[in-house]
Every structure is written in C-alpha cells, then in structure tokens.
Amino acid sequence: MKYFILLIIRLYWILIPQSNRRKCIFKKSCSNYVFEITQKEGFIKGLKGFQFRYKNCRGNFSIFKNPITNKIQMILPSQIIIEKEEIAERLFKNHV
C-alpha cells in the first residue's frame, strides 16, 4: 500500500502541471510532505499525514505576530500553531 500512495503522488506530479495545482499554505507542499513521510515512515503515517494536511491546508488560517515572543506564527483550522519556518513565504506579503 505504501508504494500505491507513492505512485499516486508521482502520477499527480507528472499529470497535473504545477501551475494548475492548488497553492499550499505550508512551505513544503502537501504532496511533497505526504510523499516524504510515506517513504520514511510507511503507509499508516502517510495516511495520517495526508489527513492532517487535507484538514489544515484550506482557508480559515490566521497569520499573526505573537505578542509574547514577537515571532510570526500561523494558527491552523485544527487550532495547532506552527512557526514561520513551516509557512509558505508567499503568505507573508498578504498577511503580516
């Protein structure tokens, strides 16, 4: 099953031009993230990674400057806070 997920992702990369893909809010695209985690940690972790990204790589996120640490962070729809290093750079121009 692990190789099935990896094959699907590779086909996605081949068949759908990057210009037609949805823009990811994360620095590492969702397909790259799921491919990497599946390759390293197996099928179940890959599915969990896909589920996490699918739930959170949509709208309803907020980028903010933490008033305590002065760091730029993002709160995801699942209420998880991620650091600037994980956020796609294109979003800083629009939100901070």
Note the pLDDT of residue 92: 77
pLDDT higher than 70, residue 20: yes
Question: Tell me, what DSSP letter sits at residue 28?
Answer: S
Q: How would you classify the pairing of strands 81-83 and 72-75?
A: antiparallel
Note the pLDDT of residue 94: 59
Note the pLDDT of residue 95: 55
Average pLDDT value for residue range 28-36: 95
Which comes out higher in pLDDT, residue 91 or 40?
40
Note the pLDDT of residue 29: 93
pLDDT 10s digits, 37-84: 999 999 999 999 999 999 998 778 999 999 999 999 999 999 999 999
Q: How would you classify the pairing of strands 62-65 and 72-75?
A: antiparallel
Backbone angles phi, psi at 80, to 5 degrees: -85, 140
SS3 of 31-91: HHHHHHHHHHHCHHHHHHHHHHHHHHCCCCCEEEECCCCCCEEEECCCCCEEEHHHECHHH
- N- to C-terminal Cα distance for the chain? 41
- C-beta of residue 9 within 8 angstroms of C-beta of residue 37: no
What share of the chain in percent tops pLDDT 70?
Answer: 97
